[in-house]
Amino acid sequence: MSMPANPITRRLALPGWSVLRFSLTLVAAALLAAAIATGVLVVFWIGIPVAVAVFLAIRVWANAQRRVIGEQLGVHIPVPYRERPKRARLDQQALLLIREAATWRDVAWLAIDATLGFVVNLLYLGVFGVAVYYLVQPLLLVTLFHTAPNPSVNDFGFYDFDTPAKTLFLVPLALAAGVAWWRWGELFLRWYSHLGVLLLGPTAKAVLTARVSELRQSRDLTVDYAAAELRRIERDLHDGAQGRIAALSLTLGMAEELLHQNRPDQAAGLVAEARQTCSDVLDEIRQLVRGIHPPVLADRGFTGALQAMALDHPLPVSVVDRLGDKLPAPLEAAAYFATNEVLANITKHAEAAQVQVIVTHERGLLRIEVRDDGRGGATVAPGGGLDGVARRLAAFDGTLDVDSPEGGPTTVTMAIPAFHAGPAGDDNERPSGR
């Protein structure tokens, strides 16, 4: 369940969310009491398994809070816990839990939510209840409770509003409570939820550590990928162009010998053969260079390269470009090859009838969506084509997301942080296809 985006429906849904948050505060109070009792028992051996159970229960409660608060604020709160060894002894697990800073941040939020959270949600629901109750009370006294022997429920000490006419004087109080609830209730709950984000989310140090780890993995993948590319280029040169050039040298040597023997006709035949070999070698080298950096990228830019790719593809491919500006050359090459690999994967496995490529660039993020109407079931399997795309994008801190239910359709989304390099021309919003 997610919070509605419409402001009116969101405010109307907030009381239900507040009831859920209020119930979580009651659970927090029970867990807080259990944690205090565990602190007393932990000096005995029996307190160790109890402590582990209580801390794990607090984590379950904290994860529920992260989901609820995240849905309310429309944000993602990452889980900050480190991975625990599965075969560790019970006392080792307890020690790891106690030493982890995220555990004590959970406990701090537990204490806050069991006290301040109880008051915040009770106050919000109380104002909402006053508004609703005193607005509908005159109607209730006229209809449902008109035969009650003592319908007085509004004895304020100085005056008893015991008739429907008298309860009309409480309508301004209900309206004031309703206005306060409508105007400030959501802000009040959001303020409290933001306080929860500060404690339930990872610290800046934890985020930095995770980021460094991701960059290290990305660097390792990039180095491995670059080494594999160098080996491929070396193999292609050795098996292709190098062998042909060696054969060319032998052919020219034989032609030279024939010229020394005054056999020009046979020498001319060998020279013609050598010229054809030179042409073939040049074609192979052009193909090899095209695999390193396609000339079409330099000549026509990323949009033109995608359109040329669409025209050469065996399936009908339409390209919708909303790029706007030119991108840095290394990023263009990475995005071009990644898109080409995805299209090749579709040709091999998808059994699709048509493909659409949508390119957008918003808020410093290049997004390429490749959609096909094939049979679906695509996954990022280790060693597969999509895994290679993910590794290529990782070098630029990019991500790959695959939405491919069985039966299709499939949407592969590639997102790469990017900045503009300059004007790209007038090729925006221009569909092209085969």
Question: What phi and psi, each to the nearest 5 degrees, are found at residue 355?
Answer: -135, 145
More confident residue, 247 or 401: 401
Last residue of a domain, one of 167, 200, 233: 200
**Domain identity same for 375 and 280:** no
| 228 and 124 fall within a common domain | no
Dihedral sign for Cα atoms in the order 261, 262, 268, 269? negative
Is residue 244 located within the same domain as residue 278?
yes
In this structure, of 22-36, 46-60, 225-239, 344-358, the range with the lowest mean pLDDT score is 225-239
| Closest alpha carbon to 411 in 420, 419, 399, 402 | 402
Residue 374 φ/ψ region, left for φ over 0, alpha for ψ in the -120 to 50 degree band, beta for the rest: beta
Q: Supply the pLDDT for residue 173.
A: 81
Q: Which domain range does residue 338 map to?
A: 297-433
β-pairing verdict for 422-423 and 325-326: antiparallel
Among 200, 234, 265, the domain-final residue is 200
Instruction: Give the whole-angstrom CA distance, residue 3 versus residue 21.
Output: 14
CATH of the domain at 409: 3.30.565.10
Q: Assess whether pLDDT exceeds 50 at residue 216.
A: yes
* 213's tokens: 């780890």
- Cα→Cα distances 94→82, 87, 200, 311, Å: 14, 13, 20, 62
Within-domain flag for 159: yes
Give residue 164's pLDDT.
Answer: 64
Q: How many domains does the chain have?
A: 3
Residue 424 has pLDDT above 50, yes or no: no
Question: Roughly how many angstroms between the first and final C-alpha of the chain, as a whole number?
Answer: 42
Res. 290: pLDDT tops 70: no
Buried/exposed code over 368-406 (b: 16+ C-beta within 10 A; e: otherwise): bbbbbebbbebebeeeebbebbbbbbbbbebebebebee
pLDDT (tens digit per residue) in 24-64: 999 999 999 988 888 777 666 666 778 788 888 999 999 99
Give yes or no for a contact between 400 and 414, defined as CB atoms under 8 angstroms apart. yes
Chain centroid to Cα 331, Å, comes to 20
Q: Is it the case that residue 412 has pLDDT exceeding 70? A: yes
Domain match, 126 and 234 both: no
Q: Is 422 part of a structural domain of the chain? A: yes
Span 115-119, mean pLDDT? 92
Q: Are residues 331 and 423 in the same domain?
A: yes
* Arithmetic mean of pLDDT, 100-128: 90
The answer to whether residues 226 and 366 belong to one domain is no
Average pLDDT over residues 305-312: 81
pLDDT of residue 114: 92
Residue 382 has pLDDT above 90, yes or no: no
Q: What is the mean pLDDT of residues 381-386?
A: 75
Q: Classify residue 301: in a domain, yes or no.
A: yes
**Assigned domain for 367 exists:** yes
pLDDT per residue over 155-173, tens digit each? 555 555 566 666 677 778 8
In a domain, residue 205? The reply is no
Domain boundary among 249, 268, 292: 292
Instruction: With a cut of 80, say whether residue 432 has pLDDT above it.
Output: no
pLDDT at residue 29, rounded to an integer? 92
**Beta strands at 317-322 and 355-362: parallel, antiparallel or unpaired:** parallel
CA dihedral 226→229→230→232, nearest 10 degrees, is: 160
